Structure 1
Amino acid sequence: MHGSATPDLPARRRRRERALRIVLPMAVLLAAVALWQALVVVNDIPPYILPSPMNVAEALVADWSLLGPSLVGTLTVTLLALALAVVGGVALSVALTQSRIAEYSFFPIAVVLQVTPIVAVFPLINIYVGNDTAKILLCAWIVAFFPILSNTTLGLNSADHKLRDLCRLYGASRWQTLRHLQLPSAMPYFLGGLRISGGLALIGAVVAEFVAGASGFGSGLATRIIEAGYQLKIPRLFASLVLVSTSGIVIYVILSIVSNLVLGRWHESALEHRR
């Protein structure tokens, strides 16, 4: 009986660790919200200075007709920018790893785009791009593009050189080597870059909306934050911030789940995650 119970210990330990990953952050978050509520109530702080969590929840419900469409607009731009970053980043990564001339020619340009602050680039985008949504989309794409490009390029170049020599020895074409060796080897790197780019796409969209809102147009969550600040509707401002933060968390969690599902049981990172 003792021997039959022993194999269950690793499974119970994994279940306990998974439960702790969920319970502990939720407990800390609830404690922080409770402390926030208590500080506001005890010190009788007015909502226009620091709203309580209850004030924020009430504003979220009361202003949902305004915040809901803004949330949809911000998420639409974010997801579209992420999709374009995936397509462009992977395609350019393949081109860079297949041609040294392409790598030496285009990779430095991608680095320049990454290290240049988006708020510095936006005035130029504002001049040369006519559509307002396209301006925000382009800014979000610029921010999300480089992590996918750099991580995927690193993964493609990190394929085992002995296996690449073996492919050449057996007469595999460049496409066959890319498809059967380099792309599977790059998958963990790509998924890591995808998780980073998901959050960066949201950040880029919100920052671009802030700049666009200052220029007089825009309808995303950043615009709602600016309006609420000007109108001293601080509960609505906090409600908008909650929506932005929640969106970022949801995007990261979804991409993490996708990463675990894709890697399955064949990659060391997934095996380590399941121990």
Structure 2
Amino acid sequence: MSSPSSAAAVPHDGTDAEARPLALAEPPILGLPVSFWPRILAPIFVGILVLGLWEFAVRWNEVPSYVLPGPLLVGQTLIADWGTLSASLWITLRITFMALAAAVIVGVALAVLFTQSKWLEMALLPYAVILQVTPIVAIAPLIIIWAGDINLSLLICAWIVAFFPILSNTILGLNSADHNLINFFQLHGATRWQTLRYLKLPAALPYFLAGLKISGGLALIGAVVAEFVAGTGGSESGLAYRILEAGYQLKIPRVFAALLMISLSGIAIFLATSLISHLLLRRWHESALRREN
């Protein structure tokens, strides 16, 4: 005759007790886990609420559109001026992506050199810090004069802003490799290149990707700020000039539409870099594994 404790351990439906949580797991909705949806729906709900209150306040107080346009008018302006604004957006994004690519190449290369030679790091890293803390607005006019080409000057300004997070994070990652594993590699006669390739670079990948998320937005900010300083017009002008142009003409809805495009572009860049980070880290790094669990 079985004891009550042993009888209670066996489910009445004949299923395994350890397998029951898996059987009761809720199915995903549109391919996403149920627990992930609040992260999407909560900010959407807050955004809709804020936009609704904004539209109500503008209409209730009869605020002129040249002072503060409502969200509906901004959306209508975005659709009406899409041809002009989208062309300018592409010019700004082109500078942004070129600057980000240059920041990745130069930042990673210098980080590897600095970790391989402490003398080189001590000699050059302070100048990278100086370059980072110098306000880009202050040196942008000089860069525009020295470069001689407006597109090159915009690229340099955006690169300066986006460069340092890649460099500093990658250096930190390369120096964060497990010293026990480094000693293990040395014990087995691994060369510097083998230690760098098979140990230090994989260890630095999460740090580099964190810097990439930061630099993506900073590259966009640097490109827009450089365009403001340059004040270039014509068909090859970015969104910053469209904002200045609309401001001078008191077309404030167009100003808000251009600002909306810049903000959405920054969000898209952040989401893209976050997706890249997730795809590269999801199978082995602790931060990605903990998030999935």
Which interval holds the TM-score relative to the shorter structure?
over 0.9
Deviation at 1:5, TM superposition (A): 3.7
Match of 1:204 in 2: 222
Deviation at 1:58, TM superposition (A): 1.0
Match of 1:232 in 2: 250
Change (3 A) 1:9 1:251: farther
Normalising by structure 2, report the TM-score: 0.90
- Opposite residue 198 of structure 2, the aligned amino acid is H
Deviation at 1:123, TM superposition (A): 2.1
CA contact (8 A) 2:141 2:230 kept: no
Greater CA radius of gyration, 1 or 2? 2
Match of 1:191 in 2: 209
**Which 5+ residue runs of structure 2 have no aligned equivalent?**
1-12
Match of 1:259 in 2: 277
Change (3 A) 1:10 1:110: farther
Deviation at 1:10, TM superposition (A): 6.6
1:69 equivalenced with 2:69 (yes/no): no
Corresponding residue to 1:32 among 41, 50, 56: 50
- Opposite residue 161 of structure 1, the aligned amino acid is H
1:139 equivalenced with 2:157 (yes/no): yes
Match of 2:286 in 1: 268
Identify the structure with the greater helix proportion. 1
The equivalences for 1:213-252 within 5 A come to 213=231, 219-252=237-270
Match of 2:135 in 1: 117
Residue-by-residue CA offset, 1:99-132 (whole Å, 9 max, x unaligned): 0111011111110100000011112202210110
Q: Percent identity?
A: 55
Describe the SS at the equivalent of 2:283. Answer: coil
Residue-by-residue CA offset, 1:144-169 (whole Å, 9 max, x unaligned): 00000000000001100111011111
Change (3 A) 1:261 1:78: same
In the aligned structure 1, how far is the partner of 2:24 from the partner of 2:50?
34
Change (3 A) 1:78 1:17: same
**Which 5+ residue runs of structure 1 have no aligned equivalent?**
none
Aligned length: 274
Greater CA drift, 13-22 or 58-67 = 13-22
Greater CA drift, 154-163 or 120-129 = 120-129
Deviation at 1:251, TM superposition (A): 0.2
Corresponding residue to 2:36 among 9, 18, 21: 18
Corresponding residue to 1:48 among 66, 82, 102: 66
By relative contact order (CA 8 Å, sep 6+), the higher-ranking structure is 1
Match of 1:7 in 2: 22
Deviation at 1:269, TM superposition (A): 0.7
Normalising by structure 1, report the TM-score: 0.95
- Opposite residue 114 of structure 1, the aligned amino acid is Q
